[in-house]
Amino acid sequence: MSVEIVVFAILAILAVGGGFGIIVTKNPFRAAMWMVLSFIGSAGIFVMLDAVFIAMLQLIVYAGAITVMIVIAMYTMDKLTLSSLKRFNNQAYFGALFGLGILLDFIVIAAKLKINTAYMGKNLSIAGSNVKAIGDVLFKSYLLPFEITAIVLLIALFGAVALTKKDL
C-alpha cells in the first residue's frame, strides 16, 4: 500500500462522492457545494499527475468562477421554486439504468487501453516546470486555437447578453 495509492483513493472518493452529492441532493445550493468538493478532488488528482498549473486553473476557473456564477444566478430566484417538490423525473430508474450502461461501456473501453508508455511522466522533467511546458506549446503550436478560443469567449458574452435583452 504505497502512499500514492492512498492519496489517490482519498482524492478519488472526494471527486466521485461530490459528483454523487450533486445528483442526489434536493437543495441546489447544497449541490453547488458538492460541486466545489468534486472539483477540489479533481484538482488534487491533477496535481498527482504533475499538472500543477492545470490544477490551479481548475480551482480558479471551475470551482471559483463557474460555481460562483451558478450561485449568483440562484440568488435571483425564489427559494421555494428552486427546491421544487420533486427531485427526479418520472422515469428516473431508466435514467439510472442508462447511466449504468454508459459506465459499463466506457469502463470496458478504458480497461482495454494499450498505449506506449515510453515517455511516461516525462513532460515535467523535460521542461522543468509545468507552466513552462504549457507555455512552450500553447503559444507556439496552438496559437491559432488559442486566439479562436478567445473569440469563442467573446461570442459567449454576446450570446448571454443577447438572450437576456428586453428588446432586440
- What is the footprint of other proteins within residues 127-166 (CB under 8 A)? 127, 130, 133-134, 136-138, 141-142, 145-146, 149, 152-153, 155-157, 159-161, 163-164
Which residue's entry shows cell 469563442? 152
Determine, following the binding rule CB under 8 A, whether residue 33 of this chain makes contact with other proteins. Answer: no
The verdict on 44 binding other proteins (CB under 8 A) reads no
CA distance 157 to 167: 17
Applying CB under 8 A, does 59 fall inside the site for other proteins?
no
Check: CB of residue 62 under 8 Å from CB of residue 39: yes
With CB under 8 A as the contact rule, the residue among 1, 3, 75, 115 that binds other proteins is 115
CB 18 within 8 A of CB 38: yes
CB-based contacts of 155, cutoff 8 Å, min separation 6: none
Convert residues 70-109 into a mask of x (bound to other proteins by CB under 8 A) and - (unbound): x--xx-xxx--xxxx-xxxx-xx-xxx-xxxxxx-xxxxx
The residue from 1, 3, 75, 119 that contacts other proteins (CB under 8 A) is 119
The one-letter amino acid code at 3 reads V
